[in-house]
Amino acid sequence: MLNTIFMAPPATKAPAPATNGQIPEDDANKFGPPSGLSSIRTQYIPEQTIRQHLKNIGYDVAREDIYRIKGIQLIDNVREALQLPIKTFDSASVYYHKFRMRFPSSEYNYEDVALACLFAACKAEDTIKKSRDILCTAHNIRSPHDQRTPDDVRFSDPSRFTIGLERHILETIGFDFRVQYPQKLLIKMVKRLFPPNDQTNPNEARRFLRTAYDMSIDLHKTHAPLKQTTFTMVLAILELTARLTDSRLRSITRLEQNAAAYVDRQCIIETMLDLMDLYQEFTKSTKIGASFELQKLMSVKIDINALMSEGGYQRYHGWCDKCTTDLADTRTATPGSATSPATATSASTKRKREEAGGGTLRFVFDVEAARRERDLVSEYHNDEYEEYEVEVDETIPEADPRQNNTHNNNNRNNHHGPRSHYNNDWGYHRGGNRHAPHRRRGHGGY
């Protein structure tokens, strides 16, 4: 007979000492399992992942794209009014895009999110401004005939709401403050294209730099800062500026050839097409879209599409048609408002708890450290069993003859035997109907 026995493996690590005091030297490098859940944040997000996130939240393209551009424009206007550096604008824009990838305008108003992202970016870039200053500046921009001061009473409740929303934004972006700043590298590249000893056309360098600098701000109205590196964005801005202004295109081509080891040509073309789509669809909402004729924009876009076809590139880098899943149709809802923060935060809090799995969520930026931590935790939480098959010989005991004799004697003493007509186990006559009631024989009958 085969018996199956399940045995758990012995513990590989000794338990921690129960007494307080100094840890022995042998156990100094031994650590227990870390508490909480780990979340690894990636700095770059491809276009396909962005679209999947937008579909998951019911992204309405016709409406949400307008709110996206208006939110970035509000950040830029408040930044210029407060005279904040351009790096604060870059950080606020990236935070704004990452937050809107998770929560649509039906839960949070885009103006509240934009101002809260600027407030968080001011702290991250060490250009600290109070929430009242940002709210007051935004109010004065929207209502030029109703100028207010930051100490006005009407900014008390919005200020508390902005501080609470800022904490939620930091949790949403995973406390990942890594942002690309293309403007600094852009100025260096323009100086290389137009050296100081070249005095052929001094106005050309100024016009080129002004167009490229404004284009770097328009670039943050797209999702390119989430997808591309700083070098890729700068080269795309330089090439697109050269095609629009018809200047220094050959010099930029040589720069791209020298930097071929650091950038991908397909990513540069993708960034230029993102800007061209922005200039064609939202011409008046950009800085340089209205500076060029529509015919010029269309001809430049045709040339870029031809370059993409000649190189055999896809529209988006790393796009996979098989990985795209058909999700539910987009929903329509009324945008949220700062006047009802309770209803706006209910769905977001529930989603955040579901993602955290009911435990503490921690954010890790080192992938290798996260993998080592996962392997360490698995040693304490995984139940492993080993199965063994053991053959066991069992002896069958023989019957005792004395018990058999006693059983036969009992049968002889019974007049009708063990299964007689009157004493049977079923309670009915053997020769009669099995379903009829049992009747006892007597002199009088029934």
Confidence of residue 40 (pLDDT cuts 50, 70, 90): low
Q: Which amino acid is at 163?
A: I
- Predicted local distance difference test score (pLDDT) of residue 36: 58
| Predicted confidence (pLDDT) at residue 193 exceeds the cutoff of 90 | no
**93-114: string of b/e by CB count within 10 Å (b at 16+)?**
bbbbbbbbbbbbbbbbbbbbbb
Structure pTM?
A: 0.69
- What was the pLDDT predicted at 111? 92
Asked if 182 contacts 219 with a C-beta cutoff of 8 angstroms, the reply is yes
Q: Per residue in 365-381, pLDDT tens?
A: 777 887 888 788 777 77
Segment 270-275 shows an average pLDDT of 93
Beta-carbon contacts of residue 289 (< 8 Å; ≥ 6 apart): 218, 278, 279, 282, 283, 297
- Tell me the average pLDDT across 146-162: 90
Residue at token pair 């600027």: 118
Return d(Cα 410, Cα 423) in angstroms, integer. Answer: 14
**For all residues of the chain together, what is the average pLDDT?**
77
pLDDT average, residue stretch 309-323: 84
DSSP per position, 373-392: HHHHHHHHH----EEEEEE-
**Residue 335 — very low, low, confident or very high, per pLDDT cuts 50/70/90?**
very low
Torsion from C-alpha of 24, 30, 35, 41, nearest 10 degrees: 140
Q: What is the DSSP letter of 6?
A: E
38 forms beta bridges with: 362
- Closest to 92 in 3D by CA, of 124, 68, 66, 54: 124
pLDDT at 433 over 70: no
Task: Give phi and psi for 5, each to the nearest 5.
Answer: -120, 130
Euclidean distance between CA atoms 388 and 386, whole angstroms: 7
Distances (CA, A) of 88 to 115, 176, 239, 266: 12, 15, 25, 29
CA 99 – CA 90 distance, rounded (Å): 14
Residue 271: pLDDT band with limits 50, 70, 90? very high
At residue 2, the 3 state secondary structure works out as strand
pLDDT band at residue 343 under the 50/70/90 scheme: very low
State the Cα–Cα distance between residues 131 and 122, nearest whole angstrom.
10
pLDDT band at 89 (very low <50, low <70, confident <90, very high): very high
| SS3 state of residue 247 | coil
- 437 has a pLDDT exceeding 70: no
Residue 361: per-residue pLDDT:
65
Cα angle 94, 95, 98 (rounded to 5 degrees) comes to 85
The bridge status of strand 386-391 relative to strand 2-7 is: antiparallel
Q: What is the mean pLDDT of residues 267-272?
A: 92
Q: How confident is the model at residue 53 (pLDDT cuts 50, 70, 90)?
A: confident
Q: Residue 149 and residue 155: Cα distance in Å, rounded? A: 9
Higher pLDDT, 137 or 416: 137
Q: Which of 325-329, 347-351, 374-378, 421-425 has the highest mean pLDDT?
A: 374-378
Average pLDDT for 140-153: 90
Q: Stretch 8-21: mean pLDDT, rounded?
A: 44
Q: pLDDT tens, 26-38?
A: 444 445 545 556 6
Q: Across the chain, which distance is largest between two alpha carbons, in Å?
A: 144
What's the CATH superfamily of 42-179? Cyclin-like (1.10.472.10)
For 108-140, what is each residue's pLDDT tens digit? 889 999 999 999 999 999 988 999 999 999 999
Indicate the SS3 state at residue 330.
Answer: coil
Domain ranges for the chain, please list them.
42-179, 182-325
